[in-house]
Amino acid sequence: MWEDAQRVCGISGHAGFRPEPGLLGRMAGALKHRGPDAHGRWVDGDCGLAVERLALVDVAGGSQPVANEDGSVVLGLNGEIYNHEELRRELEARGHRFRTRSDAEVVVHLYEDEGIASVARLRGMFGIALFDRRSRELFLVRDRFGIKPVHYWHRGARLLFASELKALLASGLVARDARPEAADAYLRLRYVPGPGTLLREVAKLPPAHWLRFRDGVAHLERYWTLGHAHPEARPDTEWRDEFEYLLGESVRLHLRGDVPVAAYLSGGLDSSVLVAEAARLQPSLATFSLRLDGEADESGAARAAAAASGARHHEIRCTPADLSCWPQVVWAADQPPNAVALPMFVLARGTREHAKAVLSGEGADEVLGGYSSHLVAELVRRARAAGAGGLARAARWAAEALPRSPLDLRFDHPAALGESGWRRVRHVLAAASRAPLPRVWEAAISLFDDAELAALYRRDGPLAASSPLAATSATEAPASLDDMLRWQFETWLPDNVLARQDSMSMAHGIEARVPYLDHVLVQFLFRLPPHLKRTLLPPRRKVLLRDLARRRLPAQVADRRKQSFTLPLEDRLESPAFRDLLERTLGEAQVRRRGWFDAAAVTALLERARSQREFVPAKQVLALILLELWLQQFVDPPAPAA
């Protein structure tokens, strides 16, 4: 059975059972923000598929779900296939006839010829639901890096799937049962590592995997791996030339569509280079940046970068009053996010008035070693590789003896590192002296340490009894910077960075595209010699990218020091909007009612955050607020409402 459809950026459905009437509609209704242009439904016995479309390619004719000529293969696609034009020409040469110009129909005909393994030929970002009526098999597929989300629930012979968690809850079949170990991981790491979620019964399809569901049985299989490529002996100029070509090609592909593509522009290195490349291909490029009050504001740098590239620039202001949007942000995110989510939400909200698709610089730090935590882990790795027997003693001495002020000067955030931040540094140094290297990286990104959480958790509460959920392997012995970067492609990138980007943009019906994560470009970057990614003495980040920036942009843009994109929360603690949030989430009565945290410990943390203009306490308070908001929306009865 078909219903008229016209557009899609959210998928949901069921398999293995015939639900009561209305289930598919409820699930799809929870995803309307992802595809505001129109909707489509398809049902065949015990399998149903719903799609919500944001029209970017074949706006008038690209209806979904889409089927092959005889209707034996039906598909819903969330995302973009950037090489669909090349694949279409190949398929037409084989005799296939197309009814639309959409990229989704390309995937259907490719599956007809080559089976599910054909997804390895797709270049893009995608969450796919494909039903083969001949074999009665359902396939769920997620792109290589997890740019687009796919969630699923499997109980007995029944399967539900959706782009977002809230659509599964709308089915009425999924239990609202939180996983304490996942909440513990969020407080430690600032995100929930996959493939689990904060709900016990719901999982995320891992990146670069497909799930085959047939006769009530679900089977997971990886279809692509980044691999371990060894750097080639080539002149640096050849690496630079190939990087320039591949990045330009990726940007060109990411500009494809039947509507103009805009760009986010922070004024930092990553987005400035993207804008410079995109403006050469699309001279009328529109750019959008956020304007904040206070030291964290980068709007001046963004204006300079836009002017250098000839872009039409727009500024969107984020004010203290926007703190009242945190409940909407948590609802959109499907999980407790971190402080960056709110400005991204506000940026997308303002951008939607002008554009439906934007380029984003996400992923550059992960492929080129741009974070401070990369520097820490690399220093530790090199010291251990050199057989530095005194590393443990030196780290312990440094943890106690080094002065704090030099670190404050090098800190990337507008707030002070402070005494609480210095405790974080001591925590990292202690891990460096004895822990497996993946744990050193986890310590470097952590928000709470073991002692802080032990003091915070109520002794008879669920968190105190939970087992820590690690994000990385504790036994892996990395041999290179690339190995450390590769860890992030399993959890940090898809479960944190990309999940946040997708949910904040799609909350307003905007598609965010990430050219730095084109898999052809990423494979190239993992072959780069380490000195073209970052150097240690003196520290230089993203060397190859900065070299390209110097050829494309003025020196004041290309050589600008990295500044973290963050919300200056420490300046907002006494605003009316924030005080209202505190009362709703961390008021003493609510903390006692929840039963997860010690009320006195929460009060003490709030006092530290108010009395010290430091980075860590304010972010710790926010994490508790966002976790409580998530519990109120996704776990507490009645059913959540946006």
With a cut of 60, say whether residue 57 has pLDDT above it: no
Rounded to an integer, the average pLDDT of 398-422 is 57
Q: Are residues 254 and 384 in the same domain?
A: no
Q: Say which residues have a Cβ less than 8 Å from residue 401's Cβ, sequence separation at least 6.
A: none
Which CATH number is 263's domain given?
3.40.50.620
Which segments of 133-285 does DSSP mark as H helices, in order? 165-170, 180-189, 236-254, 269-281
With a cut of 90, say whether residue 295 has pLDDT above it: no
DSSP state of 2: B
Query: Quick one: pLDDT band at residue 477, thresholds 50, 70, 90?
Result: low
Residue 46 three-state SS: coil
Percent of the chain residues topping a pLDDT of 70: 85
Q: Are residues 382 and 363 in the same domain?
A: no
pLDDT tens digit string along 198-228? 999 999 999 999 999 999 999 999 999 987 7
Looking at residue 563, its pLDDT comes to 64
Looking at residue 355, its pLDDT comes to 92
With a cut of 50, say whether residue 58 has pLDDT above it: no
Domain containing 326: what range?
Answer: 236-368+487-558
With a cut of 70, say whether residue 38 has pLDDT above it: no
Q: Say which residues have a Cβ less than 8 Å from residue 20's Cβ, sequence separation at least 6.
A: none
Residue scoring higher pLDDT (444 or 248): 248
Percent of the chain residues topping a pLDDT of 90: 62
Dig out the tokens for 208 from the structure: 């670069």
Q: Are residues 139 and 201 in the same domain?
A: yes
Given a contact cutoff of 8 angstroms between Cβ atoms, the answer to whether 50 and 28 are in contact is yes
Distance CA 184, CA 447 (A): 11
Q: Are residues 539 and 581 in the same domain?
A: no
Of the listed ranges 32-41, 104-113, 155-164, 524-533, the one predicted with least confidence = 32-41
DSSP state of 502: H
Looking at residue 391, its pLDDT comes to 57
Exposed / middle / buried, residue 38 (Cβ in 10 Å: 0-12, 13-18, 19+)? middle
Residue scoring higher pLDDT (578 or 105): 105
Query: Quick one: pLDDT band at residue 3, thresholds 50, 70, 90?
Result: very low
What's the one-letter identity of residue 231?
A: P
With a cut of 90, say whether residue 431 has pLDDT above it: no
Looking at residue 642, its pLDDT comes to 47
Rounded to an integer, the average pLDDT of 410-427 is 63
With a cut of 50, say whether residue 1 has pLDDT above it: no
Query: Quick one: pLDDT band at residue 306, thresholds 50, 70, 90?
Result: very high
Given a contact cutoff of 8 angstroms between Cβ atoms, the answer to whether 277 and 254 are in contact is no
Q: Are residues 188 and 175 in the same domain?
A: yes
Question: Is 145 part of a structural domain of the chain?
Answer: yes
Q: Are residues 529 and 413 in the same domain?
A: no
Q: Say which residues have a Cβ less than 8 Å from residue 278's Cβ, sequence separation at least 6.
A: 251, 255, 261, 263, 285, 359
Looking at residue 8, its pLDDT comes to 44
Q: Are residues 203 and 71 in the same domain?
A: yes
Rounded to an integer, the average pLDDT of 581-586 is 94
Distance, CA of 234 to chain centre = 33
User: Is the pTM of the predicted complex or chain greater than 0.85?
Assistant: yes
Residue scoring higher pLDDT (596 or 32): 596
Q: Are residues 474 and 540 in the same domain?
A: no
Q: What is the count of structural domains for the chain?
A: 4
**Boundary of a domain, candidates 558, 579, 614:** 558
With a cut of 50, say whether residue 439 has pLDDT above it: yes
The beta-strand segments (E) located in 506-624 are 511-513, 534-535, 540-541
Rounded to an integer, the average pLDDT of 507-525 is 95
Q: Say which residues have a Cβ less than 8 Å from residue 335's Cβ, sequence separation at least 6.
A: 165, 186, 191, 192, 197, 198, 499, 630
Residue 112 three-state SS: helix
What's the one-letter identity of residue 466?
A: S
Q: Are residues 176 and 242 in the same domain?
A: no
Distance CA 46, CA 159 (A): 10
pLDDT tens digit string along 223-266? 999 877 676 789 999 999 999 999 999 999 999 988 889 999 99
Question: Is 530 part of a structural domain of the chain?
Answer: yes
Q: Are residues 470 and 498 in the same domain?
A: no
**Boundary of a domain, candidates 191, 222, 253:** 222
Residue scoring higher pLDDT (641 or 105): 105
pLDDT tens digit string along 340-383? 999 999 999 999 999 989 999 999 999 988 887 777 777 777 77
Q: How far is CA 72 from CA 108, 118, 137, 597, in A?
A: 10, 17, 11, 54
Q: Are residues 506 and 360 in the same domain?
A: yes
